[in-house]
C-alpha cells in the first residue's frame, strides 16, 4: 500500500515557495491541458506574474497518434505573449514518462524560440522514458502499479488522487 | 452507394465520400478538430508532424487547381508527402482503367487518395478496392458529392452563427448540377437546421428535392426573406446559354445576389459561395466584396477542415 497522498494545497504551496525566488514579472507561465493548466492558473496568481497566463494543447505533437488516432480535442494552445526570447516555466500536474513534456516542447517551439524553459510539476511519480527532469516539484509521489494519479478540479478546488487504471 | 462504406464497424471514419449519412456527432468531431488546425494556421510555424512519413496522392481525373491546391497545402501542413496527379478528364476512364491506376499507385505505398472525378461514385469504387489502412477522400465526384466543401461550409456557418438550431439557410442558384449543394443539404439537415431552402428556377432545381428536407422557392425575395445564411452557387459556364436559362444576364436579373435582393435577408446575414465566383452572374461584386460576404474566410477555413479530415482518417488506420 502506497503512502497517503499529500494534501494538494500543500503541494501548490511548495511549488510557489520554490518558484518565487526563481521567477519574475516577465516570466511566462504555461500550463499543459488539462490538469497543468489548472495548476498554472494557481501559480500564476500566487506568484503575481505580469505576463498573461498561457496554455498548451499537445495533441498535435503526441507520439501515440499512429496508435490511437486523433481524439476529439476542443482545447487549443493559447499563448497571449511573445514566446521568442522569453523565460518560460512549463507547468504540468503529474510527471510520469516525460512524453507529454516532449510534445509540449515541440508545440511551444512552433510559436518561437524561448530563452529558457523550466518545468514545474505538482507531483513526480517517476517512471521516466525520456531524459526529462523537473526544475520545481510539489512532491515525489509513489504510485502502485496499475494506478494513475489524477487531478480533479471542483469549483476551483484542486485535488490529486490515485485511481485504479481501467483494465 | 452505401454511405456506411466510409465508417467502420467501430464507428470510425475510414474514408470521406459523402456527407450523406454522416452522424451529427461525426460532423462535430471534424469541425472541432478543424478548429485546432485553424489555430495552427495562424502560427509562426504552420506545420504539425501528424502525417510525417505518409504519402498522399491527389488523383484528379477532372481538373481543379483550386481544390487540389487546398488539399496540397493541408497535407503539407500535416507534414505528409504529397504527389499530384492530373490524369485529365478522359471520358473513357471507366471502372477498369480507374482501378488499375489506383492499384499502381497503391503499389507505390500510397496511404491516402484524394480523388476528383467527373463520374459520380468513382471515389466509392476506389474506396471499395483499396487495401485496409488506405484512405480515400472524395474531392468532388460528378453531380454527387463534394464533402470537404460541405464541411468547410458547416465550419464557416458555425464560426459566424455559433449554432445551427435556429437558423434559416437558403441555397440559391443551380442546385441541379451542384455536388456542393447536395453535400451542404445533407450536412445542414443532419445538424438540425430548422428552415433550409433552395431558391432557383424550376429548370435548375432537381425534381423531388423536397424529399431531402428542404423548402423550394422560385421567388428569390420570398426565398431570401429572414435568412441568416445565404449560399450562392456557381453557374457553370456551359449552362449560361441553352435550354435551362434564357441567358446569364437574365439569370442575374432574376436570381443573381444583388445588394437589393440581399436586403430581404436578416441584417446580419452571411453570404457564402463555394468559388470560383462569376461576378455579375450568380453574385454581384457589391455583395461578393461587401460586409456580409464570408467567401474568403471559407477558403481559409477550407485548409483547416481538410487537415482535420486527413488527420482523422490517417489516425484510423
8 A C-beta contact, residue A70 and residue B311: yes
Quickly state the pLDDT bin for B96 (edges 50, 70, 90): low
Q: Is the model more confident about A62 or about B89?
A: A62
Indicate which CATH number applies to the domain containing B221: 3.40.50.1370
CA atoms of A143 and A163, how far apart (whole Å)? 9
Same domain, B23 and B162: no
- Interchain proximity B316–A69, CB inside 8 Å: yes
Quickly state the pLDDT bin for B93 (edges 50, 70, 90): low
CA count, 13 A, side-chain hemisphere, B38: 20
Mode of pairing for the β-strands spanning B168-172 and B229-232 = parallel
CA of A77, closest CA in chain B: separation in Å? 8
Q: Which of A69, A106, A110 sits opposite B315 (nearest CB)?
A: A69
Alpha helices in chain A (DSSP H): 8-19, 35-47, 65-68, 99-109
CA atoms of B238 and B155, how far apart (whole Å)? 30
Asked if B35 reaches chain A (Cβ–Cβ under 8 Å), the answer is yes
Cα Rg for chain B, rounded, in angstroms? 19
Q: Which of A61, A74, A112 sits opposite B44 (nearest CB)?
A: A112
What is the per-residue pLDDT across A77-107, written as a single tens digit (0 to 9) for each? 999 999 999 999 999 999 999 999 999 999 9
CA dihedral in degrees (A98, A102, A104, A110; nearest 10)? 180
Same domain, B139 and B227: no
Helix (H) or strand (E) holding B299: helix B295-315
8 A C-beta contact, residue A54 and residue B30: no
8 A C-beta contact, residue B156 and residue B272: yes
CA of A58, closest CA in chain B: separation in Å? 11
The domain in which residue B25 lies consists of: 3-145+299-315
Residues in chain A: 167
Question: What CATH number was assigned to the domain covering residues A8-18+26-61+76-164?
Answer: 3.40.50.2020
Q: Look at residue B37 in the predicted model and tell me its pLDDT.
A: 93
What is the per-residue pLDDT across A26-54, written as a single tens digit (0 to 9) for each? 999 999 999 999 999 999 999 999 999 99
Asked if B159 reaches chain A (Cβ–Cβ under 8 Å), the answer is no
Total domain count for chain B? 2
CA atoms of B88 and B62, how far apart (whole Å)? 5
CA of B171, closest CA in chain A: separation in Å? 29
Same domain, B57 and B159: no
Chain A CB contacts of B40 below 8 Å = 60, 110
8 A C-beta contact, residue B256 and residue B281: yes
Same domain, B86 and B180: no
Asked if B312 reaches chain A (Cβ–Cβ under 8 Å), the answer is yes
* Res B1 pLDDT > 50: no
Chain B CB contacts of A65 below 8 Å = 50, 315
Residues of B (37-56) whose Cβ lies below 8 Å from A: 39-40, 43-45, 47-50
CA atoms of A138 and A141, how far apart (whole Å)? 9
What is the per-residue pLDDT across B104-162, written as a single tens digit (0 to 9) for each? 889 999 999 999 999 999 999 999 999 999 999 999 999 999 999 999 999 999 999 99
Interface of A with B (CB under 8 A): 57, 59-61, 65-66, 68-70, 72-74, 76-77, 106, 109-112
Chain A CB contacts of B317 below 8 Å = 66, 69
CA of A51, closest CA in chain B: separation in Å? 19
- Interchain proximity A73–B50, CB inside 8 Å: no
Same domain, B154 and B255: yes
Residue A40's nearest CA partner among A126, A120, A110, A156 is A120
Q: Residue A74 is placed in which grid cell?
A: 476542443
Chain A CB contacts of B50 below 8 Å = 60, 65, 70
Quickly state the pLDDT bin for A1 (edges 50, 70, 90): very low
**A-B contacts at Cβ under 8 angstroms:** 48
pLDDT more than 70, % of chain B: 96
CA of B313, closest CA in chain A: separation in Å? 8
CA of A110, closest CA in chain B: separation in Å? 5
Same domain, B88 and B116: yes
Number of other residues whose CB lies within 10 A of the CB of residue B142: 16
Picking from B12, B31, B38, B43 by the largest number of A CB atoms within 10 A of its own CB, the best residue to mutate is: B43
Chain A CB contacts of B155 below 8 Å = none
Q: Where are the domains of chain A?
A: 8-18+26-61+76-164
Same domain, B129 and B169: no
Beta bridge partners of A154: A157
8 A C-beta contact, residue A136 and residue A18: yes
Helix (H) or strand (E) holding B190: helix B179-190
CA atoms of B274 and B184, how far apart (whole Å)? 11
- Interchain proximity B32–A73, CB inside 8 Å: yes
What is the per-residue pLDDT across B267-288, written as a single tens digit (0 to 9) for each? 999 999 999 999 999 999 999 9
Helix (H) or strand (E) holding A153: strand A147-154
Tally of helices (H runs) and strands (E runs) in chain B: 11, 9
Mean pLDDT, rounded, of chain B: 92
Quickly state the pLDDT bin for B94 (edges 50, 70, 90): low
CA atoms of A164 and A154, how far apart (whole Å)? 20
Amino acid at each position: 500500500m502506497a503512502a497517503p497522498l499529500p494534501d494538494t494545497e500543500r503541494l501548490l504551496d511548495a511549488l510557489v515557495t520554490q518558484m518565487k525566488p526563481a521567477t519574475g514579472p516577465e516570466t511566462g507561465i504555461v500550463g499543459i491541458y488539462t490538469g497543468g493548466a489548472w495548476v498554472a492558473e494557481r501559480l500564476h496568481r500566487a506568484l503575481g506574474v505580469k505576463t498573461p497566463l498561457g496554455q498548451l494543447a499537445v495533441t498535435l505533437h503526441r507520439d501515440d497518434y499512429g496508435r490511437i488516432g486523433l481524439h476529439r480535442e476542443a482545447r487549443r494552445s493559447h499563448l497571449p505573449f511573445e514566446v521568442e526570447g522569453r523565460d518560460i516555466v512549463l507547468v504540468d500536474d503529474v510527471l510520469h514518462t516525460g512524453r507529454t513534456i516532449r510534445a509540449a516542447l515541440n508545440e511551444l517551439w512552433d510559436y518561437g524560440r524561448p530563452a529558457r524553459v523550466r518545468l514545474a510539476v505538482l507531483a513526480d511519480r517517476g517512471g521516466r522514458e525520456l531524459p526529462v527532469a523537473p526544475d520545481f516539484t510539489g512532491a515525489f509521489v509513489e504510485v502502485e502499479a496499475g494506478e494513475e494519479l489524477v487531478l480533479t478540479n471542483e469549483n476551483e478546488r484542486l485535488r490529486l488522487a490515485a485511481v485504479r487504471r481501467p483494465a | 452507394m452505401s454511405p456506411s462504406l466510409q465508417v467502420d464497424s467501430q464507428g470510425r471514419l475510414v474514408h470521406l465520400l459523402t456527407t450523406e449519412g454522416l452522424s451529427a456527432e461525426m460532423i462535430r468531431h471534424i469541425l472541432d478538430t478543424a478548429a485546432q488546425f485553424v489555430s495552427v494556421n495562424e502560427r509562426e510555424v504552420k506545420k504539425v508532424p501528424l502525417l510525417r512519413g505518409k504519402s498522399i496522392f491527389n488523383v484528379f481525373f477532372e481538373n481543379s487547381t483550386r481544390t487540389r491546391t487546398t488539399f496540397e497545402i493541408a497535407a503539407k501542413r500535416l507534414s505528409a508527402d504529397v504527389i499530384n496527379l492530373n490524369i485529365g478528364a478522359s471520358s473513357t476512364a471507366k471502372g477498369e482503367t480507374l482501378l488499375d491506376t489506383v492499384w499502381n499507385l497503391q503499389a507505390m505505398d500510397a496511404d491516402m487518395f484524394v480523388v476528383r472525378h467527373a463520374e459520380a461514385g468513382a471515389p466509392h469504387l476506389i474506396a471499395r478496392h483499396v487495401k485496409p489502412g488506405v484512405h480515400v477522400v472524395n474531392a468532388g465526384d460528378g453531380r454527387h458529392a463534394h464533402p470537404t466543401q460541405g464541411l468547410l461550409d458547416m465550419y464557416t456557418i458555425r464560426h459566424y452563427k455559433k449554432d445551427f438550431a435556429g437558423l434559416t439557410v437558403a441555397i440559391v442558384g443551380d442546385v441541379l448540377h451542384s455536388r456542393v449543394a447536395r453535400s451542404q443539404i445533407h450536412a445542414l439537415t443532419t445538424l438540425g437546421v430548422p428552415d433550409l431552402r433552395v431558391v432557383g428556377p424550376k429548370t435548375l432545381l432537381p425534381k423531388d428535392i423536397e424529399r431531402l428536407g428542404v423548402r423550394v422557392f422560385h421567388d428569390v425575395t420570398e426565398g431570401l426573406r429572414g435568412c441568416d445564411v445565404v449560399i450562392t452557387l456557381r453557374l457553370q459556364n456551359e449552362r449560361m446559354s441553352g435550354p435551362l436559362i434564357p441567358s446569364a444576364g437574365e439569370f442575374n436579373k432574376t436570381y443573381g445576389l444583388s445588394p437589393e435582393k440581399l436586403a430581404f435577408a436578416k441584417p446580419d446575414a452571411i453570404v457564402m459561395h463555394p468559388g470560383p465566383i462569376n461576378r455579375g452572374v450568380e453574385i454581384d461584386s457589391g455583395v461578393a466584396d461587401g460586409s456580409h460576404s464570408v467567401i474568403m474566410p471559407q477558403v481559409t477555413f477550407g485548409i483547416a477542415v481538410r487537415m482535420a479530415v486527413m488527420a482523422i482518417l490517417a489516425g484510423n488506420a
